[in-house]
Amino acid sequence: MAFDANAVVAEYTKAHEFKAEQQYWQGLKKAIDDSLREYFKTHTYAEWPETDKANNNLLFNLFFYSVSGGQAQSHTIKVSYKKARTPFINVSVPVTDAIKLPKLSGKGREIIGYISMDRAFATDPSILRFDERIFTPQTTTVRDAVDFSAKLFTLTSSTIPAAHVSPTFDCVLLSHQNGFQWIEIKPVSSRL
């Protein structure tokens, strides 16, 4: 599907300062819904994507992160769609969660599946340290997080090409002390 949800969000956030508040979410939901309907008007019915019944009609997820009162939170918006001559589009209210453990967003199910099938990744200490069953924030550094992210980027960009992920994509750190910070990462030259 050629519809670019990231472009819609980028345009909306340029015009509206991000605030994890109802008014912001309502405006964003309307912008997504309007843009999708315009996309369907300008493309033939045959070009529209099929309904993803296996994933409860999910078209895409959007993830937002914020820090308020020293607490990092994630906000997930699900966009569902059913292909019909009059398409059914549902843009959910955001589901907000406190971030207490590492959170894998995006193609998580596929990534976890590939990690478990690839012994080198599955046993790599920098990957294992972020297993939520043994994760300890007190002993985890920014370098650990960057190494983990770089390896996941390498895995997704080399094994799951449809994910459109690159080792040069930016990462962010949400911390209680400093809030939101960009983390510069270096491309990984090999898988490990």
Look at residue 72 in the predicted model and tell me its pLDDT.
84
Regarding predicted confidence, which is higher, 162 or 87? 87
Look at residue 158 in the predicted model and tell me its pLDDT.
67
Give percent above pLDDT 70 in the chain. Answer: 70
Regarding predicted confidence, which is higher, 65 or 106? 65
The pLDDT tens digits for 56-100 are 888 888 888 888 887 888 899 999 999 999 999 999 999 998 887
Q: How many helices (H) and strands (E) does the chain have?
A: 6, 6
Residues 6+ away with beta carbon under 8 Å from 57: 51, 80, 81, 82, 88, 90
**Has residue 122 got a pLDDT over 60?**
yes
Look at residue 191 in the predicted model and tell me its pLDDT.
39
Look at residue 183 in the predicted model and tell me its pLDDT.
58
Tokens of 104: 């894998």
Regarding predicted confidence, which is higher, 160 or 129? 129
Q: For residues 85 and 60, what is the distance between their CA atoms, to the nearest angstrom? A: 20
Q: How many CA atoms lie within 13 A of 1 on its CB side?
A: 18
Full-prediction pTM beyond 0.85?
no
User: Pick from 89, 94, 95: which is nearest to 34 by CA?
Assistant: 89
